[in-house]
Chains A and B, each alone.
Chain A
Amino acid sequence: MNTVITINQLTRTFKETVAVDNLSLEVHAGEIFGFLGHNGAGKTTTVRLLNGVIEPTSGSMRVLGFDPQVDGPALRARTGVLTETPSMDERLTAWDNLSIYADLYGVLKAAVKPRVQELLAEFDLADRAQEKVSGYSKGMKQRLALARALLHKPELIFLDEATSGLDPVSAHHVNGLIERMARREGCTVFMCTHNLVEAQRLCDRVAILEHGRLVALGTPTELTRQYVRRLDVEIEVAEGQTEAALKILRGLPQLVLGEPAQPNGALVVTVNKRESIPDMLASMVQNHVRVYRMAPQEANLEQVYFTLHEEKDGVQ
């Protein structure tokens, strides 16, 4: 598997503040890599470092084979960045914004017009291409900014909170584009976000950052298995057997944590690990409870994130 980003013990400080703290990780070609963390966790600083826009305090990195500090311009010709704010020239039209940046990114002169037209159509902005960006909605500005980041067909794209502040329809549209870029066009996506549902759905692997430090790295499934130690299981039993089921569950303190809940008539129990589920089922069957359904509710990144956050708070 080709590695497009290699970060080795990267640290960046701003006076006394450590924005990125001894970060080491790799990003592989063609994957959607989620970079998660709360505001101020060091995500934007890392993107700036990886593009040679700021210098590291210590550590090293290679991006697409380049050292960002030495070969910044050559590297940036092959990366696209969607910044946290759309960063568009609002006094210019969408067309001007894109055509000027096409020149800046070295798009072939003959290809500038068709490429700008193609992207404006793709992002549903063609009808308003000659309007000043100041009149655009936030979603339109964000789509235009994404179009700008894709002008030169980058191999690696950095998205810093790509759907932040967008309405659900616009966010869905942007997420669809991100997925298509990676799955069909083979582009590697480095996605900074604190939208954990989005990360869960889109990302092949994620890194979780806390105060500039890497606290978890892996696929969403790996991380949920590794960090989420509690699992909710929804149980459906035959009519009239709920009390019997509750009695059995209360008698399994080594498997079942706390008191079973009964939201909307269904039984929900929390178990300490996935492996407890067959044992719980066996107990109920042995006690002649007819179980129609036993559905573990899959843990998600949100739970991982909060588990890690609680652990951190616990340490502090």
Chain B
Amino acid sequence: MNARAMFAIARKDLKVVSQNKNVLVPIIIIMVVFFVVIPWLAGLMPTLINVAGSKMDGIEAMLARMPAGMQQEFTGYSLSQKITVLFLVYMMLPLFLLLPVMVASLFAADSFAGEKERKTLEALLYTPTSDRELLIAKVLSGWLAAIAVGWGGFVLYAINVNAAAWSQMRHIFFPNAMWLALIIWVIPALSGLGVAMIVLFSARAQGFQDANQLGGIAVLPIVGLFYAQVAGAMFFNTTIVLLMGLVIWLLTWLLIWLGSRSFRRNRLLGA
């Protein structure tokens, strides 16, 4: 494998995408909403609920439905602290997973399909890279970007969560072990899966928008996880997160392996 050439393609893609407002603006909006606006709204939620005079019976009932192991984590917390932890630590977890998939989708959609649109693909095809190197390089650029945004977003989120909830919690409560597992283990895997899926689709799509459509489909399972948790059908814990990461890594590896076996540069030219 020609690592230098692959990193050159990744460097090129990252530079090109960093100049593309169609990609950058959505990422910035997502980061601000997810990592700044939501933590502060959630941090203020118990106060707002109290001010509005709403009853917290529903939330208490939801907490009561949680597995025993999880309930232990809430021991010693007041109701408003429980609400804060429930929302910022548990409910936000599947939503946080959306981020690498969305970033991966934006970057990966711009890979082959964007190059076709900009008419820069042909020069790349004449370089001394093999088909497999070309595919992996394209996956690599989207993957690195998604991880960078995921990890950067996590740091931003951690700071905002602790700051926003400080009046309730009075100590640094975030991240816990489950979130660390998510960031170190699941985010890279999920980013890889999202990128590989969309890059392979992007190779057949005619333009950026076509390829980006798939991003909408790719986030659906994650939205499903969010609703499952809200409905009390399942709750994340460290073990589930680790297992989920393992399954996603296997799927990512399988997709890249299958993709690299079938990927041919001549198909990129519509031949």
Contacts and interface: CB of A to CB of B under 8 A. Distances in A.
Contact of A88 (B19, B123, B125): B123
A81 interface: yes
Given A14-B271, A53-B265, A54-B266, A89 B126 contact: no
Contacts of B133: 73
B25 to A, nearest CB: 15
B128 A73 contact: yes
A88 B120 contact: yes
A48 B264 CA distance: 14
Contacts of A72: 128, 130
A129 to B, nearest CB: 15
Nearest to A48: B269
B269 A53 contact: yes
A87 B128 CA distance: 17
Interface string A91-120: 110001000110111100000000000000
A150 B130 CA distance: 20
Contacts of B269: 48, 53-54
Q: How large is the interface on A (under 10, 10 to 19, 20 to 34, 35 or more residues)?
A: 20 to 34
A55 B126 contact: no
Given A53-B125, A89-B12, A96-B15, A73 B130 contact: yes
A76 interface: yes
Contacts, number: 88
Contacts of A89: 12, 15-16, 118, 120
Contacts of A90: 118
Contact of B120 (A14, A74, A87): A87
A294 interface: no
A179 to B, nearest CB: 23
B266 A53 contact: yes
Interface stretch (B2-10, B46-54, B69-77, B224-232): B2-10
A194 B247 CA distance: 56
A221 interface: no
Task: Count chain B CB atoms within 10 A of each CB in A75, A87, A101 and give the residue with the most.
Answer: A87
Contacts of A145: 123
A91 B122 contact: no
B170 interface: no
B167 interface: no
A270 interface: no
B126 A73 contact: no
B239 interface: no
A103 B118 contact: no
B55 interface: no
A103 B8 contact: yes
A148 B271 CA distance: 25
A46 interface: no
A190 to B, nearest CB: 13
B15 A83 contact: no
A79 B121 CA distance: 17
B12 A105 contact: no
B11 interface: yes
Nearest to B4: A103
A11 interface: no
Given A54-B271, A92-B15, A100-B11, A83 B126 contact: yes
Interface in B102-130: 118-130
B16 A104 contact: no
A77 B123 contact: no
B20 interface: yes
A73 B129 contact: yes
Given A100-B8, A103-B8, A76 B127 contact: yes
A145 B123 CA distance: 9
B266 A83 contact: no
Nearest to B7: A103
Nearest to A78: B128
Nearest to A100: B12
A233 B253 CA distance: 74
A301 B69 CA distance: 86
Contacts of B20: 91
Contact of B122 (A73, A83, A100): A83
Interface string B1-35: 01011011101100110011000000000000000
B122 A55 contact: no
A87 B19 CA distance: 17
A92 B12 contact: yes
A51 interface: yes
A87 B133 CA distance: 20
A247 B35 CA distance: 98
A184 B128 CA distance: 26
Closest 6 pairs (CB-CB, A-B): A103-B8, A77-B128, A87-B123, A91-B19, A54-B266, A76-B128
Given A53-B125, A103-B5, 20 more contacts: A14-B271, A54-B271, A73-B133, A76-B126, A76-B127, A76-B128, A79-B126, A83-B123, A87-B119, A87-B120, A89-B15, A89-B120, A91-B15, A91-B20, A100-B8, A101-B123, A101-B127, A104-B129, A105-B127, A106-B128
Interface of B: 2, 4-5, 7-9, 11-12, 15-16, 19-20, 118-130, 133, 265-266, 269, 271
11 contacts: A53-B122, A53-B125, A76-B126, A89-B120, A91-B19, A101-B123, A101-B127, A103-B8, A104-B129, A105-B127, A145-B123
